[in-house]
Structure 1
Amino acid sequence: MSEHVLITGGAGFIGTRLSARFASDGHAVTVLDALIPQVHGEDPETTSPLLRSLDGVAEVIVGTVTSKEDLRRALRDATIVIHLAAETGTGQSMYEIDRYVDANVGGTAKLLDILTNEEHSVRRVVIASSRSIYGEGAYETTDGRRVYPEHRSDADMAAGDFEVHVPGEGELRLIPTDETALVHPSSVYGITKQMQESLIMTVAPTIGVEPVSVRYQNVYGPGQSLKNPYTGILSIFSTLIRQGKDINIFEDGEESRDFVYIDDVVEATYLAATAPAAAGGIFNVGSGVATSVNDVVAALFAAYGTEVPTRISGNYRLGDIRHNVADTSALREILGFTPAVAFEDGVKRFAEWVLTEPVEADGYERSLKEMAERKLLK
């Protein structure tokens, strides 16, 4: 059956790829995007390849989810909504609190308010949630019990102790975090993603709309912004390498994340939007593999065939987690999908694309200064 898909935030890294995926299967696609300069530059028509990639793929409405008028225009005839629109910087969220809550929580509330009180044709809403809602994920004690450590303290990290701890327990072992895990975000961004998901999963069933949540891990790949300092370390480190600048590795470099390639994210989201079995479900979207920052640096050096000086500084950011790796069993067992791109292969594809892009100034150093001034970077 042909659908009419609305993708909020659809002119971004994930949204443009997802738009192309739906269009290739004959579905109509509408994109609502505010085209913020942090992502698209000051003149998106000329500075945003992502926006240009939507030509002939989707109807683009320039607008914001914080405007009911814009949302009403975009929702016209939509049968599926994929709600990607959000401010996405974990560190930035700790000092631009109002903006993050307004866009992420307020925008979701306005979307649901329209669906609840006005006529529409939407039958399913997919919310792009995040691994950040878990805070520190799942660990196992020496006697095999599952625990969820609280956020790390400033005092411990200042003393060079970056590991997580549970009072009365010894050494903890990281295990994959599944969808039943404790939700206790450690950043404003994580709190807003938790609220987005909770709003969608609670309200949608009461109005006859199927809710689905996809909890993205650390998404990367070609098309990712190389200028936005809140995009992720693969882009940040790639730019530093190409500029010949030193890389400052925070903490001890052994902190880890679950990096998932863009093609796998798009396919998982497509299934979440279209598969009957997905209705009402919550799905981790990740690779299921934890990769340390030190391993990321080594993989990038290998992919680019060059190295720059690195320094393990012991710097740390308040609100950051130590480790996270997703349990992707639900994605496999319910939707029949297993992410296919290994990190080593994905980094090579990413680096090949990066080398075709111009080396541009980024805002990384400015972002660090902003955090340090607010005592969030130590």
Structure 2
Amino acid sequence: MKTCLITGGAGFIGCEVSKLIENTFDNIIVIDSLHPQIHKSGKRPAQLSSKVHLYVSDVTDPIIWDEILSKWKPDLILHLAAETGTGQSLIESSRHANVNVVGTTQMLDALVRNDAIPNKIVLSSSRAVYGEGKWLNAEGMAFFPGQRSNEQLVNGEWDFENSTFLPMNTNNTVPMPTSIYGSTKLTQEHIISCWCKSFDVSYTILRLQNVYGPGQSLINSYTGIVSLFVRIAKQNQSIPLYEDGMMLRDFVFISDVAQAIHEVMLSENANGKVFDIGSGYGATIKEVAQLVAARYEAPNPEVCGKYRNGDIRHAQADISNTLASLNWSPKVSLNEGMNLLCDWIDGQLGE
């Protein structure tokens, strides 16, 4: 394939992918707004491949799309551009909807307008589309509990009574978002799938779990819980644990995510499918906080009882379908990945 266009390609995932595909495509085009919430300096990230043609602009701007597509006709598009703050999306709903939904439709309209229909689109979606996911009740019957009410959270009723969480799987977990962010990502999925089917374009959707690792933003308070824990521990403070600290999260290392994206870019077997991308291991937030605290000899993490509306209780991927369908598997364990991230953060902070 000749030309790959990546939206949001100067971000955490985009930079990692750009290095991985340097020799896969003749041209790599990136459009990214370099939003100050992620890119403090507003300059081209050093981690971005030198082979990338970077356009600093917003995906919602039809003018920049016409400028890009008049010059470049992408064979493949990797759609990463998105506002990603789960909690932030509740108070900045329009911003999230504009970038995630309107940004996607502006891209698709521009592709048609400029006679630049690609062969394939790969969408980076999120586990947030599942919401609370699927659970088993005391009788062993599966059910979808939906969003936890504000009353539940105020009363500290973190779990669904006498019920057990089941890992998320595209084949049997019905998407039921509990945040504006998750809702916009599910909308992205629907938009991409129906547009691609109408224009005979191949597509693949990846529902990513909690991506972490070197290169993630250290200034964005709405994403990257691990980097937040590191900053607290390095100040010799106790890491506060929201709820009871026993929420499950599936932390998947950045290099594993980039490899998964690269695989589906090239795999015809991935066309028209939705995959869960995670480590397959559900770590409690307490476990992660304890790993970080031990690394920096900080005080033990302590439950603070706070919570965030829109947050889900548990998130863990069932990656069995992904492993069976793709030539891919996660390689980096949580312990190894945490140490690699901490080493990188120490280097960034000059310590």
1:151 is aligned to 147
Provide Cα deviations, 1:133-185, integer angstroms capped at 9, x if missing partner.
000022223343322211111112212210025xxxxx212221110311110
* Secondary structure in structure 2 of the residue aligned to 1:162: coil
- What is the alpha-carbon root mean square deviation over aligned residues? 1.7
2:342 is aligned to 351
Provide Cα deviations, 1:3-39, integer angstroms capped at 9, x if missing partner.
3111100000000010111104354211110001010
Asked if structure 2 preserves the Cα contact closer than 8 Å seen for 1:8 and 1:32, the reply is yes
Pick from 292, 295, 303 the counterpart of residue 300 of structure 1: 292
* Secondary structure in structure 1 of the residue aligned to 2:348: coil
- 1:70 paired with 2:68, answer no
2:317 is aligned to 326
* Secondary structure in structure 1 of the residue aligned to 2:287: helix
1:186 is aligned to 178
Asked if structure 1 preserves the Cα contact closer than 8 Å seen for 2:16 and 2:48, the reply is no
1:15 maps to a residue whose letter is G
Asked if structure 2 preserves the Cα contact closer than 8 Å seen for 1:6 and 1:74, the reply is no
Q: Separation in 2 of the partners of 1:195 and 1:120?
A: 23
- What TM-score do you get using the length of structure 1 for normalisation? 0.88
2:244 is aligned to 252
- What TM-score do you get using the length of structure 2 for normalisation? 0.95
Provide Cα deviations, 1:79-115, integer angstroms capped at 9, x if missing partner.
1000000111001110011111111100001112223
Q: Separation in 2 of the partners of 1:161 and 1:313?
A: 15
1:92-171 matches, within 5 Å, as 92-165=88-161, 171=162
* Secondary structure in structure 2 of the residue aligned to 1:355: helix
Q: Give me the identity figure in percent.
A: 35
Q: 5+ unaligned residues in a row in structure 2: which ranges?
A: none
1:355 maps to a residue whose letter is D
2:151 maps to a residue whose letter is A
Per the TM alignment, residue 312 of structure 1 is displaced from its structure 2 partner at its CA by 0.7
- 1:272 paired with 2:264, answer yes
Q: Separation in 2 of the partners of 1:327 and 1:209?
A: 28
Question: Judging changes above 3 Å, is the alpha-carbon distance between structure 1 residues 241 and 27 closer, same or farther for their aligned structure 2 residues?
Answer: farther
Q: Separation in 1 of the partners of 2:24 and 2:67?
A: 24
1:53 is aligned to 47
Q: Separation in 2 of the partners of 1:24 and 1:291?
A: 35
* Secondary structure in structure 1 of the residue aligned to 2:229: helix
Q: Separation in 1 of the partners of 2:201 and 2:68?
A: 17
* Secondary structure in structure 2 of the residue aligned to 1:149: coil
2:165 is aligned to 174
2:36 is aligned to 37
- 1:199 paired with 2:191, answer yes
Q: Separation in 2 of the partners of 1:359 and 1:233?
A: 21
1:4 maps to a residue whose letter is T
Per the TM alignment, residue 227 of structure 1 is displaced from its structure 2 partner at its CA by 1.1
2:20 maps to a residue whose letter is R
Question: Judging changes above 3 Å, is the alpha-carbon distance between structure 1 residues 201 and 121 closer, same or farther for their aligned structure 2 residues?
Answer: closer
1:365 is aligned to none
* Secondary structure in structure 1 of the residue aligned to 2:68: helix
Per the TM alignment, residue 354 of structure 1 is displaced from its structure 2 partner at its CA by 1.0
* Secondary structure in structure 2 of the residue aligned to 1:122: coil
Higher deviation after alignment, 324-333 or 69-78: 69-78
Q: Separation in 2 of the partners of 1:249 and 1:260?
A: 20
Asked if structure 2 preserves the Cα contact closer than 8 Å seen for 1:258 and 1:291, the reply is yes
- 1:88 paired with 2:84, answer yes
Asked if structure 1 preserves the Cα contact closer than 8 Å seen for 2:290 and 2:301, the reply is no
Per the TM alignment, residue 309 of structure 1 is displaced from its structure 2 partner at its CA by 5.2
Q: Separation in 1 of the partners of 2:132 and 2:264?
A: 25
Asked if structure 1 preserves the Cα contact closer than 8 Å seen for 2:3 and 2:25, the reply is no
Higher deviation after alignment, 323-332 or 9-18: 323-332
Spell out structure 1 runs of 4+ moving beyond 4 A. none
